[in-house]
């Protein structure tokens, strides 16, 4: 076996330039695959985090059925004390209580339907980016006063400014008529037209008074430091809920189903491009090994006349290819790991991204996802396709006749 390995290694370097060109192509493609896959999954984490940070949170505690059919009477009882309890039991998570109602908001000139969210002003900034996006006026204060912040699109539609009054007309939890006059204390601009057009916030204490909530609400929003932490803590949060209320905790996938579908669609197109790169590398290896077999046809004829079987020659070619692929795998994986680890620690800033992130209260850099999977999957696929590319040259040896082979130049 040692002789076979030595022979395969020697044959591999008979043409150093060609071997190094093939290895170089493999190293480059492996490094590029590690870089692109790690960046891609880092971008997915950023996309998910930014989307959830705008308003949804990583998890929400709700009444059964509320997610699919949002009705005022489907409430979470004593929602503010429940949120306070969860904050005490899960200090690493950010927790905030919310209520929701649909109301007609009227200014002196116009009226528009809007979703009114009752929020905890002291805790909402930890689960939503909206408080940090107030461009005019200020955010809410912890008060019973009916003050309100609205989106920039809604403010333009209603033709109101900070300090103006809005009349809110809607239905209370018990179906009764709810009405209030709220002062516009702030205008936010999230950059998401639907959010800026359809969402307004007021202190949850005032919200509960206006809509006769009797201390209830509709959502306990929970944000975790990471997606992994959110998945880990979800069962513990369910266990901490009052057992007699039948409350449920929805994860981000259930709250934002379209987000996961968008990621899957992007992954499909990205992996199609990666597949093209892998195939190009495989053809490069195929060309190298075919040339190697053709150049050694005379030598193969001699050893076959001495009793060596075509299958043994085929295994020799496969071993040479495996060595070639292993060199490319190791060097490419190391190069990719070095590059990925750097960007995982320091992030990648795309020109113009920092300014845009500052405007929308979002992280300014993409941090790569440096995991064993993201750093190994690309080089591993290239290695497998490298071995597959050697199958055809190895099979050609089965059709080789010793006499004809020895006549070859």
Is residue 380 located within the same domain as residue 324? yes
Buried b (16+ CB within 10 A) or exposed e, 365-392: ebbbbbeeebbbebbebbbebbeebbee
Q: In this prediction, what percent of the chain has a pLDDT beyond 70?
A: 88
Is residue 215 located within the same domain as residue 106? yes
pLDDT attached to residue 20: 87
For the ranges 28-32, 66-70, 336-340, 352-356, the lowest mean pLDDT is seen at 352-356
Is residue 36 located within the same domain as residue 182? no
231 falls within a domain: no
Residue reference for tokens 């509709």: 218
Residue 405 scores a pLDDT above 60 = no
Residue 314 scores a pLDDT above 80 = no
Is residue 46 located within the same domain as residue 88? no
Is residue 38 located within the same domain as residue 94? no
pTM: 0.73
Residue 27 φ then ψ, to 5°: -65, -45
Is residue 196 located within the same domain as residue 77? yes
Is residue 133 located within the same domain as residue 21? no
Is residue 154 located within the same domain as residue 282? no
Question: Looking at the 3D structure of the chain, how many domains does it have?
Answer: 2
pLDDT attached to residue 182: 94
pLDDT attached to residue 298: 65
251 falls within a domain: no
Is residue 65 located within the same domain as residue 48? no
Instruction: Identify the domain containing residue 179 by its residue range.
Output: 59-223
The predicted model gives 203-215 an average pLDDT of 93
Per-residue model confidence as pLDDT tens digits over 7-20: 778 777 777 888 88
Average pLDDT, rounded, for the chain: 85
Token pair recorded at residue 149: 């912040």
250 falls within a domain: no
pLDDT attached to residue 89: 93
Residue 178 scores a pLDDT above 80 = yes
Q: Which residue, among 143, 136, 142, has the nearest Cα to 185 in the 3D structure?
A: 136
What 3-state DSSP class applies to 382?
helix
Strand-pairing partners, residue 101, are 116
Q: Which residues contact 52 (CB under 8 A, 6 or more apart)?
A: 58, 223, 252, 256
| Domain-ending residue, one of 223, 251, 276 | 223
Is residue 291 located within the same domain as residue 349? yes
Is residue 44 located within the same domain as residue 97? no
Is residue 31 located within the same domain as residue 88? no
244 falls within a domain: no
């Amino acid at each position: 076996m040692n002789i076979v390995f030595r022979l395969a290694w020697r044959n591999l370097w008979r043409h150093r330039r060609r071997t190094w060109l093939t290895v170089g192509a493999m190293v480059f493609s492996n490094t590029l695959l590690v870089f692109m896959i790690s960046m891609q999954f880092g971008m997915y984490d950023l996309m998910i985090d930014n989307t959830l940070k705008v308003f949804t949170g990583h998890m929400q505690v709700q009444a059964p059925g509320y997610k699919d059919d949002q009705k005022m009477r489907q409430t979470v009882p004593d929602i503010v004390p429940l949120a306070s309890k969860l904050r005490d039991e899960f200090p690493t998570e950010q927790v905030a209580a919310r209520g929701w109602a649909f109301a007609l908001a009227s200014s002196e000139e116009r009226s528009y339907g809007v979703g009114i969210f009752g929020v905890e002003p002291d805790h909402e900034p930890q689960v939503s980016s909206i408080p940090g996006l107030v461009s005019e006026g200020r955010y809410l204060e912890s008060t019973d006063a009916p003050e309100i912040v609205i989106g920039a699109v809604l403010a333009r539609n209603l033709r109101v400014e900070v300090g103006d009054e809005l009349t809110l007309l809607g239905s209370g939890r018990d179906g009764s008529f709810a009405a209030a006059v709220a002062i516009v204390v702030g205008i936010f601009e999230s950059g998401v037209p639907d959010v800026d057009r359809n969402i307004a916030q007021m202190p949850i204490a005032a919200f509960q008074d206006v809509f006769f909530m009797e201390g209830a609400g509709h959502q306990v929003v929970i944000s975790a430091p990471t997606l992994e932490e959110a998945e880990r803590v979800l069962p513990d949060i369910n266990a901490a809920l009052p057992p007699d209320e039948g409350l449920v905790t929805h994860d981000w996938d259930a709250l934002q189903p379209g987000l996961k579908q968008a990621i899957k669609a992007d992954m499909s197109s990205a992996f199609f491009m990666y597949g093209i790169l892998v195939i190009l590398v495989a053809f490069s290896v195929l060309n190298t090994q075919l040339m190697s077999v053709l150049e050694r046809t005379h030598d193969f004829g001699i050893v076959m006349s001495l009793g060596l079987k075509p299958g043994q020659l085929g295994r020799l070619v496969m071993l040479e290819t495996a060595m070639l692929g292993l060199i490319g795998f190791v060097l490419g994986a190391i190069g990719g790991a070095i590059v990925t680890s750097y960007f995982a620690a320091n992030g990648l800033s795309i020109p113009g991204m920092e300014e845009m992130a500052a405007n929308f209260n979002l992280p300014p850099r993409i941090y790569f996802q440096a995991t064993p999977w993201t750093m190994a999957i690309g080089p591993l696929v290239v290695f497998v396709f490298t071995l597959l590319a050697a199958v055809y040259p190895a099979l050609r040896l089965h059709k080789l006749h010793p006499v004809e082979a020895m006549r070859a130049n």
